[in-house]
Structure 1
Amino acid sequence: MVENFIGVGVAFQPKFGYFRRVVSKVFAVITIIDDIWDVNAIDELPDYMKICFLALNNFVNEVAFDFLKENGRNIILHIKKVWVDLCKSDLVEATCSTNKQDSIRFEEYSNVICYVLTIFRLVNDLGIAKREKVTGDIPKSVECYMNETGASEAKARRQINSLICETWKEMNKEVSNSSCSGSFMEVAVNLVRMCMCEYQHGDGHIVQDDETKKRIISLFCQPIA
């Protein structure tokens, strides 16, 4: 339900039904294959993981086909390039560099995308750092700051929160002064809001806390008085 919760929060208007379906699929796929993707090792994977990557491949082709029908433009190579870059390097750096070089004029939107992904990454880190430290995952921004500066965890978390606030300010400036699509800007800002909502009380995506459950039930199950 969390994936649908995010989609509704990002774009709730009835006309964006297709967008919500795609976003739900994207977050479902990301949740499943997060941190296990290696494009050079697909043939070596067990069958159950090959099925997952086949589903990903089919999903990408489906989105590209829908875009081709609606806009007359084949974006499959661009999608694959972005995905491969994301698998090889940092999420923010890969997306920013790819968008600036992309032939579909993504450069107009790259600043906003970078701000969104920066906040998303930092908020995610704050929410999942403690859980993934126990499970032995890669260090998050909190641990990186602690290792680099010798700061306590509390101070490191304050610093990450400060970076989030500053990035929010820069994104607000960009959105206010931008001539880009208003719908795009609204979705971008709402995505950040939903991310902060999801990780407000910890890892509300994987380990869904009571508050996240209450919000989902209130949105989808309880009638509006």
Structure 2
Amino acid sequence: MAAQVEESLKMPLHWRLIWTEARNFIDIYQRDDKMNSVLLEFAKLNYNILQSVYIKELQELAKWDDPEAIEELPEYIKLIYTALYNHAGELADDTLDDKSINILPFIRKLYEGHIEAGLQEVKWIYSGYNPSADEYLQVSGKSIGGPVAVSYAVVGVVGQYSMYKFLSEFIDHYLVSDLVSAPGYIARLLNDLSTTKDEIERGQTLNFINCYMMEEGVSEEEARDHMEGLKRKFWKKLNKYIIEYSVDAPNIAKVVINMVRVTHHIYRGGKYDWFGVRPKADLLSMLNSVFEPIPM
């Protein structure tokens, strides 16, 4: 119990990725004197079966080839471009065939917004312009890819579960929807909380902490406290949508909240960047959760 309480105090369970938490809980539970051995065995078996399914899915994703149409692109871009192009085409074809809804203009707008946000950041950097904290967050919440990822996921879920009555409404309102924007803002705040120190050492000063410190004349600690408050604020907005969708569209609610939980896991609540600086033990834990079954 003490170990569970300690973990919960580090980061709320609601923000955590269920898949990795299941493995952590199994590890804690099997050391409990009052544990049920049959229940423990079933939990391990269930985890290992699901893990084998996920590994097969990863193997399928790794089979994409490079089409001749993109031979001019650098090698490292070809796989990414092909995956995006094929996936966008498949989504558009499915919705067009099933409900005569053309979502290609919607997908194009998504990527236009993402690319424009990235270009805006580049302009700020090279012009020496210091945006306000709010101005920075509005742009960087898009450039981090949250809106694109969430929108893709929602469209995919809508098609998989034939919930097309939600599609038109979602497309019409996604630009002002907290369901789309909040995950991007949370991701950006987590990113900047965890990477600012290393970025500043590399001479990269465009981040929320610097913007807020310059705008408000406060310390780094105060800026970080403000970001923690914003993170909770956006979680509250997201939770409102999750509750609303949990009745009529629970699968949409599930996929969106799990995406935000993944972001928390990547940045460990804003402590470090899993893609960059990360403890070796945490990397091994993540790899084990994906590739190593639990010993029975």
- TM-score, normalised relative to structure 2: 0.52
Partner of 1:214: 285
CA distance in 2: counterparts of 1:91 and 1:61, whole angstroms: 27
Residue 162 of structure 1, CA deviation: 1.1
Q: Match for residue 184 of structure 1? A: 252
C-alpha deviation, 1:75, in angstroms = 2.1
Shift of 1:67: 5.1
Q: CA deviation at 1:203?
A: 0.5
Counterpart CA distance in 2 for 1:161 and 1:154 is 11
Give the Å deviation of 1:121.
1.6
Match of 1:169 among 222, 236, 245: 236
SS at match of 1:203: coil
Q: 1:54 to 1:213 in 2, by over 3 A?
A: same
* Residues 39-188 of structure 1: pairs in structure 2 closer than 5 A: 47-48=74-75, 51=78, 54-55=81-82, 56-65=84-93, 68=96, 73-89=101-117, 90=139, 92=141, 95=147, 104-106=168-170, 107=173, 110-137=177-204, 139-178=206-245, 181-188=249-256
Runs of at least 5 residues in structure 2 that lack an aligned partner in the other structure:
1-16, 21-46, 62-71, 118-138, 152-166
Using the TM superposition, give the Cα deviation of residue 147 of structure 1 relative to its aligned residue in structure 2, in angstroms: 1.4
Q: Give the residue type in structure 2 aligned to 1:215.
A: M
Identity %: 24
Q: State the SS of the aligned residue for 1:151.
A: coil
Q: How many pairs were matched up? A: 192
CA contact (8 A) 1:203 1:209 kept: no
Report the Cα distance in structure 2 between the residues aligned to 1:183 and 1:73, rounded to whole angstroms: 21
Report how far residue 77 of structure 1 moved: 2.4
Aligned pairs (5 A) from 1:19-30 = none
**Cα pair distance change 1:138/1:86, threshold 3 Å:** farther
Shift, 1:114, TM fit: 1.8
Greater relative contact order (Cα < 8 A, sep 6+): 2
Q: 2:264 aligns with which of 196, 206, 213?
A: 196
Rounded Cα–Cα distance in structure 2 between residues aligned with 1:46 and 1:215: 32
Q: Deviations over 1:47-88 (max 9, x none)?
A: 457646743434533444455566654322221221012211
Q: Deviations over 1:29-55 (max 9, x none)?
A: xxxxxxxxxxxxxxxx97457646743
Change (3 A) 1:182 1:135: same
SS in 2 for 1:175: helix
* Greater gyration radius: 2
Tell me how large the CA RMSD over aligned residues is. Answer: 4.1
* Counterpart residue identity of residue 86, structure 1: H
**Structure 1: which 5+ runs fail to align?**
1-5, 26-44
**Within 1, Cα distance between the matches of 2:294 and 2:98?**
35
The residue type equivalent to 1:160 in the other structure is: M
- For the 8 Å contact 2:113–2:142, the answer to whether it is kept is no
Report the Cα offset of residue 140 of structure 1. 1.3
In structure 1, distance between residues paired with 2:180 and 2:188: 12
TM-score normalised to structure 1 length: 0.65
- The residue type paired with residue 57 of structure 1 is Y
Q: Distance in 1 between matches of 2:267 and 2:107?
A: 27
| Rounded Cα–Cα distance in structure 1 between residues aligned with 2:181 and 2:224 | 21
